[in-house]
A and B are shown apart, each in its own frame.
Chain A
Amino acid sequence: MLLDALRDGDEAAFASLVSRHHTRLLRFAESLVPSRAVAEEVVQDTWLGVVRGIDRFEGRSSVKTWLFRILINRARTAGARELRHASLGDEDGLDGRFDAAGRWEDGLLPWADAVDARVVADKLAGRVKECLPHLPDAQRQVLTLRDIEGVDAADVCALLGVSAGNQRVLLHRARTRIRSILEEEMGGG
Chain B
Amino acid sequence: MRILTAMLVLLLISSCFTLQASARATDSLHFVSPAAQARYNDLAYSLRCVVCQNQTLAESEAPLAADLRHLIAAQVNHGKTNQQIKRYLVERYGDFILYSPPLSALTIFLWFAPLGFLALALWRLLRRIRRRPQILDK
A-B complex is real: no
